[in-house]
Structure 1
């Protein structure tokens, strides 16, 4: 395949390495600096940066794909990393500026809330006075038309509660998250650097609504004890960093439901190799120059989201699009992924994931283009990086969510059964005895042979033959002597 500057064909090979951020001067410098300083896995660091970028940009921009569809640029990201991988450290480096801006506006918001409370008391006092006046007029048999009109006018002047500049939600329930999107900013990030809270809580229970928001669709939130409401054009970034044990537990409880709903198909997934044991201190002085530049850029964009607090103005998001060269490559990518869903293809059995992959490629490319401040449309160079990143994430998705083949599950069951012979000190058994005595469902010849072949490939058994008799060696490292 050619360099970033030339037109590629097809997709990066399976098992390609995680890409470096060479085409992204601002982001790449911050990523490299953070990696050098905290020595966390590179995918964990880049996912943290992408989370911050998505949170800051999603309320302001959309991306127009070369097929004409305009979609959100919000991302959903899942990182699996065990304790000690510095998940929280990586997250804090890139999300700290967002929290700082939230705190800045939080001080002003508290002052506005106090003022609103006072105005509400005054309004309530006037409302009661008008009602008392109407009551007296009714009691005296007099016309109340003028007072009723006054009550109507007064009702329209009820002080509106200020909208809070709140973007980040930690381990939030669906009710609190959706209500926040309705009452405050219509853009949010559901963030968890210790994803057990999100996975074990209720945040991911309302899957259809989260799927709809990801797609840019409107949702209706029905409530039993309060008025229902509709969310139009809300944007949601989700970032979950979970330990393997917490994620496995979630999959056991909700896996079929969440996979069947298409939720995880929308995620960029990463389970990076641990860096523990290799994080040696190279020098005592750390520079944060490039991360600080990243932070300042992020703050500028986050503050632009204040325009979304005014819900009386219907603002259309600016749509970023692809250059002619990038559009040609995008179509090539789309067709390659679609073809890969066929039997024997790269995405066989993962059609749900493949159908969202081009969307994620488009979103990542748009986010990187916008955050870097590149001129014009999304370039081929930026798109190629997005392709390499998202296809690496695709390999991770398949590795994590792949359902074992029947022969693999059969092999596990058969090997457990063969342990009976091993426990008796035997190192071989007639193959015919295996067929006659193994679990009933494995006795069909072809099915048993496939399971035995898996165990042989794993080095747990071997085959041998003496005359017409066939044997199963219970230790693949040895062969029998006759």
Structure 2
């Protein structure tokens, strides 16, 4: 499985990717998943990372109902995953999702038909019950009129015993939702088996529609927390031990729209920090078809993945017949894997210290190890069954997946310190000036720009110093006059025409035309004390 990573324009503008945890070789310790990714990815000609994420969403949808995992520090946590895969139109998100999730959609249809049949039977039983209940209520009324204590006690006991045998509605079979409100998802959890998945190949519907309006609920569900609802019409409802999977394939514009509206809240409560977030490389332009490939396409990997997913769905069907959330299996680490996991936990914790990889993304860092733990349990259950322990190999596969997504998360959401964010803002402003055809810029004009951060001398000097170090600008001073000029294209040779245009625009004297920046000494930003 080959997973390529897209680059950025400037290496110093990004958090360095995690070394030694490449997904280049796929997930070798998970042969069913590995072969499934290769098979489906090659058939559909979609990026392998996209295919892998869709497979993981499908696995989480089913296994969250069947198993929890024991962390290294003890206890019990869900195996549910929140997964978001960014991909533009044409990446074949829908094609991959349709193939991978087909067994789940078929299972949902079958369960819905079963529910409708059971619902009809229930309604008939309820109608008979109400008729018999009315007869017993009339018997109690007659006893009360007679005033005979024995008759009253007997009639009351019969009615109470009869009410205790009232037919119960069948549990709702809903497992998949897409464009539902959080309130509707809660109702489905309460009326059904408590396991819901939002699987969407058009994730913008979930992000910017009705589904994700109440973010704290989804944060709580990630942890499997209980919810006690108080409603005037429906009374109290206790939603306990529920599980929720989110698997969203979404375009960049939809994420930006969501963040424009909910970004502050999402960042404040660590909503995105709970996700496996990834940006697969767009492979459009390289998806060529050869006749030999069409003939020799290997479908075995897809068939084996689908067969295993169907096995788990059959297992889920059996569990649902005698449903009890306490019946979930508990996936544990092997002794060797536990030692490895403790070292990994400590490494992640240490990386949140000053100077560490996650220094400025501690919300994300605090969820990283738990996501690795959950994913290792999912991979173990899917590949080896309910009685298997998490091995070091499968744990390392989970580690590689999660750290790859972590790199994408840090890059996309720009988890940088303020001085880096300030520098990127100024660089964006300078790029607009470049796009207007200008090369030289008077430093004093920065104070009059629309960027308020540049009114602070310390911030301004720090930003320009970093841009100099990045090679984005060079700054020159004219010692005799104190004029400071910024060259926005320092890698290009001196351009006398652009310098002349700059001098004319700024109404500079002939002295400057005769002494261009080429003859001046570049400055480091720390020496900018008195700009003209």
Same-fold call, TM > 0.5?
yes
SS of residue matched to 1:345: coil
Residues 199 and 247 of structure 1 are in contact (CA less than 8 Å); yes or no, is this contact kept in structure 2? yes
Q: Provide the rounded CA distance (Å) in 2 between the counterparts of 1:402 and 1:313.
A: 43
Deviation at 1:259, TM superposition (A): 2.2
How big is the shift at 1:410? 5.7
Q: CA deviation at 1:140?
A: 6.3
CA distance, structure 2, for counterparts of residue 324 and residue 415 of structure 1: 51
Per the alignment, in what secondary structure is the counterpart of residue 191 of structure 1? strand
What residue is the counterpart of 2:365 in the other structure? 354
Cα distance, 1:60–1:414 mapped onto 2, change above 3 Å: closer
After superposition, what is the alpha-carbon deviation per residue over 1:251-306, rounded to whole angstroms, capped at 9, x for unaligned?
11111212222222111111111111111113333442221221111111112223
Tell me the equivalent position of 1:63. 69
Q: Provide closer, same or farther for how the CA distance between residues 111 and 332 of structure 1 changes in structure 2, counting only shifts above 3 A.
A: same
| Counterpart position of 1:124 | 130
| Mapped partners of 2:371, 2:431: distance in 1 | 46
Q: Which residue of 238, 251, 266 corresponds with 1:243?
A: 251
CA distances 1:127-169 after superposition (whole Å, capped 9, x unpaired): 2233344445556666644333332222112111111332212
Displacement of 1:389 in angstroms is 0.9
Distance verdict in 2 for CA 1:390–1:438, change over 3 Å: same
Is the CA contact 2:91–2:283 (under 8 Å) kept in the aligned structure 1?
yes
**Are the equivalent residues in 2 in contact too, given 1:415–1:455 (CA < 8 A)?**
no
Rounded to whole Å, the distance in 1 between the matches of 2:466 and 2:422 is 10
Q: CA RMSD in A?
A: 2.8
Helix, strand or coil at the partner of 2:134: helix
Question: Where do 1:281-360 residues align within 5 Å?
Answer: 281-282=289-290, 283-285=293-295, 286-310=297-321, 313=324, 315-360=326-371
Structure 1 gap segments, 5+ residues each:
1-10
1:392 to partner: Cα distance: 0.6
Counterpart position of 1:165: 173
CA contact (8 A) 1:18 1:389 kept: no
Map 1:458-473; keep pairs closer than 5 Å.
461-468=473-480, 469=482, 470-473=484-487
Query: Which residue matches 1:3?
Result: none
- 2:28 aligns with 22
SS at match of 1:233: coil
Partner of 1:154: 162
1:241 CA displacement: 1.2
Q: Is the 1:414–1:438 contact (alpha carbons within 8 Å) kept by the matching residues of 2? A: no
Would the aligned equivalents of 1:12 and 1:388 in 2 still touch at CA under 8 Å? no
Secondary structure of 1:182 counterpart: helix
* Count of aligned pairs: 470
In structure 1, what is the Cα distance between the partners aligned to 2:27 and 2:431? 50
How far apart in 2 are the matches of 1:233 and 1:402?
34
Over residues 296-337 of structure 1, what are the superposed CA-to-partner deviations in whole Å (9 max), with x where a residue is unaligned?
111111122234435675633221211222111111100100
The correspondence of residues 249-268 of structure 1 with structure 2, limited to 5 A, is: 249-268=257-276
Following the alignment from structure 2 to structure 1, what is the Cα–Cα distance between the partners of residues 325 and 457?
Answer: 67
Do residues 79 (structure 1) and 93 (structure 2) align? no
- Structure-1 residue corresponding to 2:384: 373
Task: State whether structure 2 residue 401 is matched by structure 1 residue 389.
Answer: yes
CA distance in 1, matches of 2:393, 2:323: 39
What's the CA shift string for 1:410-450, capped at 9, x where partnerless?
66358648967986x7643443x336644565244332223
The equivalent of 2:463 in structure 1 is: 451
Alpha-carbon distance between aligned partners in 2 of 1:27 and 1:333, rounded to the nearest angstrom: 24
CA contact (8 A) 1:81 1:271 kept: yes
* Distance change in 2, residues 1:15/1:461 (3 Å): farther
Q: CA deviation at 1:66?
A: 2.5
SS of the residue 1:212 aligns to: helix
Deviates further, 137-146 or 109-118: 137-146
> Which residue does the alignment assign to 1:106?
112
Q: 1:15 to 1:314 in 2, by over 3 A?
A: closer
Task: Return 326-335 or 369-378, whichever deviates more.
Answer: 369-378
Alignment CA distance shift 1:12-1:416 (3 Å): closer
| Alignment TM-score, normalising by the size of structure 2 | 0.81
**More deviation, 61-70/50-59:** 61-70
Q: Which shifted more, 127-136 or 157-166? A: 127-136
- Whole-angstrom distance in 2 between the partners of 1:94 and 1:419: 44
Whole-angstrom distance in 2 between the partners of 1:399 and 1:411: 13
The aligned counterpart of 1:4 is none
**Which structure ranks higher in relative contact order (CA pairs < 8 Å, sequence separation ≥ 6)?**
1
Deviates most, 267-276 or 125-134: 125-134
Tell me if the contact between 1:411 and 1:455 (Cα under 8 Å) persists in the aligned partners. no
Does the residue aligned with 1:229 lie in a helix, a strand or coil? strand
Q: In 2, distance between residues paired with 1:365 and 1:403?
A: 26
1:276 aligned residue: 284
Match of 1:204 in 2: 212
Match of 2:521 in 1: none
CA distance in 2, matches of 1:419, 1:51: 41
1:290–1:14: structure 2 CA closer, same or farther, 3 Å change rule?
Answer: closer
What corresponds to 1:234 in structure 2? 242
1:341-399 Cα deviation digits (max 9, x unpaired): 01110101111111111111111111111111167421111111111111111111111
Q: What is the CA distance between 1:234 and its match in structure 2?
A: 1.3
TM-score by length of 1: 0.88
